[in-house]
Amino acid sequence: MDRVKATMRVKRYSPRTMKTYCYWIRYFIRFHGVRHPADMGGPEVKAFLEHLAVQRHVAAATQNQALNALVFLYRHVLDQPLGDIGEFSHAKRPRRLPVVLSHDEVIRVLDQLSGSMHVMASLMYGSGLRVLETCRLRVRDIDFERQIITVRAGKGDKDRTTLLPATCIPALQHQIAIAEQQLDYRLHHGQVPVTLPHALDRKYPNAGISSAWQWLFPASRPSFDETGKVVLHHIHPSAVQKAVRQAMRAASLPRPGSCHTLRHSFATQLLSQGTDIRTVQELLGHKSVETTQIYTHVLGKGFAGVRSPLG
């Protein structure tokens, strides 16, 4: 497993991907009686994937995730590619339309939130950010003059820019002021730096205690990084998800959702206003326009100008 982690670090895999792949590799090894993966191959992988689909009833995406982890293990760590593992029972991938809220419903949810949680939920709806992208925002990512937000190392390790809602500017300026106050406090009480990507802390030793690199939404207390150094991380996504779910229940919505529902609602609102689907794709950071097209089925009207024969 040390070799697996080292290989993923070299290939710049995200921490979440590393954690997920390690989970499936360990699961695969335990499923086959703690045999070494080098002594196994395609038949064992096929049996494991069928077990996930038939006995565990996992979703298609989950089964594919496990397959990707094992392909990585054999191709990049053991240097013995699996090749064709043959036909196996695939988990069914049902087509699901995303839950979206109207603008009034979103406002009702936002009214149930306060402080930084209100700001984060507003950005997920007003800018189309994912919850983790919102948590990872730094002071340097906000451009008030051009009214844009830069999302760095988003899904697929890609950067993009998106809209900065004018109504969020005062709240974000307040968040930046709080971040600078907290930085001043830490500078006088131990100089706890913020976490930095890759080896940036070695290249720029003072970046972790500079105002530009501070988290907009930091964790409540410092923690240890992988090297045992005391650092300040961003707020954990689960705290935001819990707050948004509670707000949606308090708003008595007919279709309660999650943080991602706010992002879905951002997309449908833009499309209903006549925004070009390619523009929406760029703002959301979707790799393919086919992913964005799912929102056209949620609108319920305006299918490229087509009207029902009954009017």
136, 234, 263, 264: the catalytic one is 263
263 is catalytic: yes
Number of other CB atoms surrounding residue 41 within 10 Å: 16
130, 136, 186, 234: the catalytic one is 130
How many residues can be counted in the chain? 311
* DSSP annotation of 199: T
Helix pair 237-250, 115-126: axis angle to 10 deg: 90
138 is catalytic: no
Q: Which residues contact 272 (CB under 8 A, 6 or more apart)?
A: 299, 302
Q: Report the helix count and the strand count for the chain, using DSSP H and E.
A: 14, 5
21, 74, 125, 295: the catalytic one is 295
32, 108, 152, 155: the catalytic one is 155
Answer whether 127's CB lies under 8 Å from 262's CB. no
118, 138, 186, 286: the catalytic one is 286
In 3D space, the residue among 240, 243, 302 whose CA is nearest the CA of residue 268 turns out to be 302
295 is catalytic: yes
56 is catalytic: no
Q: Which residues contact 228 (CB under 8 A, 6 or more apart)?
A: none
Answer whether 136's CB lies under 8 Å from 152's CB. yes
Q: Which residues are marked as active site?
A: 130, 155, 260, 263, 286, 295
